[in-house]
Amino acid sequence: MKKDLTKLLDLSQIEIFELLDLADQLKYEQKNGIKHDFPAGKTMAMIFAKNSTRTRVSFEVGMFQLGGHALFLSNVDSQVGRGEPIEDTARVLSRYCDCIMIRTYEQEEVEKLAEYASVPVINGLSNMFHPCQVLADLMTIREIKGSLQGLKIAYIGDGFNMANSIIVGGIKCGMDVSIACPTGYEPDHQVIEFAKSSDVSHFHMSDDPFLAAKDADVIFTDVWSSMGHEEEHKRRLEKFEGYQINDKIMAVAKKDCIIQHCLPAHKGEEISAQVFEDHADEIFEEAENRLHIQKAVIFKLIKNNLNA
């Protein structure tokens, strides 16, 4: 496994399954009061250019449960927000901390942070990718379905960071991936090229949500207006009409189809309130699993760096 986790494109199928297995182990240990076998006193800097609930709490609590400490750095109370170059921030934080997590807008910023840092860097979210979220999704699906390979997963909605990471994670884990997005809101071309070059039979993209959802084992969705798109909200409501996950969509999926939503949910927009509540248990299990998978990522990257 590489020094950093900036995107799922960098991980092999074996490495993804190793992280899922470790997350399962850490979850079991946490539930049963078993001490994690992790070096004490490690620190993680958390850089937040975007607001957060789940990312901040899960990383901060996760680091505490591992026996370490996490430091919250926002644009308001750090020099990052005053224009300090990310490469200088990387070199300073590398001398204080054992790991850096960043939640920001541009993927380029994540990659540059990783290039200049001598400690592991974790992408907590960028406009391009959301790797930790999709690892938590894969963990949850495997818990409920028993395995990943051969399942059909469908993503319906905005082809943004979640769609990009779901395509990559699903294909790498041997799943059939079907995407439905309105014209002009498709996933990134780099991700589409990866999907097409991997195995065309495992990937399908259209603007038809019913085609994507047909016989699906898992359906994903996300908000139609992510952070940074708020001013487009009214136009997006019009463009995404018909892409709501509701009873009609669920009727064409498999009877035991589950729903995954990275949260927060705008009920009545991308998902109906009824479908959300019908699948709340698996959605909030998915949210909990952010904690366990991120602990696995921290565990693996810091231990690997110590042994390098």
Q: Where are the beta strands (DSSP E) in the chain?
A: 43-48, 69-74, 99-103, 121-125, 152-156, 176-180, 203-206, 218-221, 258-261
Whether 131 contacts 107, CB under 8 Å: no
Is position 121 within any domain?
Answer: yes
Q: Are residues 148 and 227 in the same domain?
A: yes
Note down the domain range covering 36: 8-130+289-303
Q: pLDDT per residue over 28-62, tens digit each?
A: 999 999 999 999 999 999 999 998 999 999 999 99
Q: pLDDT per residue over 71-97, tens digit each?
A: 999 988 778 777 899 999 999 999 999
Q: Are residues 266 and 281 in the same domain?
A: yes
Q: Nearest to residue 111, comparing CAs of 235, 2, 25? A: 2
Which residue in the list 261, 279, 290, 292 is annotated as catalytic? 290
Look at the alpha carbons of 252, 254, 256, 262 in this order and tell me if their dihedral is positive or negative: negative
Which residue in the list 103, 236, 279, 292 is annotated as catalytic? 103
CA–CA distances in Å: residue 61 to residues 30, 33, 66, 67, 71? 12, 15, 9, 10, 11
Q: Are residues 22 and 167 in the same domain?
A: no
Q: Are residues 198 and 264 in the same domain?
A: yes
Helix/strand/coil for 270:
coil
CA–CA distances in Å: residue 58 to residues 26, 185, 215, 288, 294? 14, 30, 33, 8, 7
Is position 222 within any domain?
Answer: yes
Q: Nearest to residue 129, comparing CAs of 188, 82, 88? A: 188
Whether pLDDT at 148 is above 90? yes
The reported pLDDT for the residue numbered 178 is: 98
Q: Are residues 91 and 139 in the same domain?
A: no
- Per the structure, the count of domains in the chain is 2
- Residue 104 carries which side chain, given as an amino acid letter? T
Active site residue 103: yes
Whether pLDDT at 227 is above 80? no
Which residue in the list 97, 173, 181, 262 is annotated as catalytic? 262
Active site residue 99: no
Active site residue 130: yes
Q: Provide the pLDDT confidence category of residue 200 given band limits of 50, 70 and 90.
A: low
Which residue in the list 130, 142, 236, 292 is annotated as catalytic? 130
The reported pLDDT for the residue numbered 219 is: 99
DSSP symbol at 3: S
Active site residue 262: yes
Which residue in the list 56, 97, 98, 133 is annotated as catalytic? 133
The residue written with tokens 């993927």 in the block is 107
Can you give the pTM of this predicted structure? 0.96
Active site residue 133: yes
Mean of the pLDDT values across residues 244-267?
Answer: 98
Which residue in the list 4, 158, 176, 222 is annotated as catalytic? 222
In angstroms, the CA 308 to CA 305 distance is: 5
45: domain CATH number is 3.40.50.1370
Helix 161-172, helix 13-31: angle, nearest 10 = 100
- Residue 228 carries which side chain, given as an amino acid letter? G
Is position 3 within any domain?
Answer: no
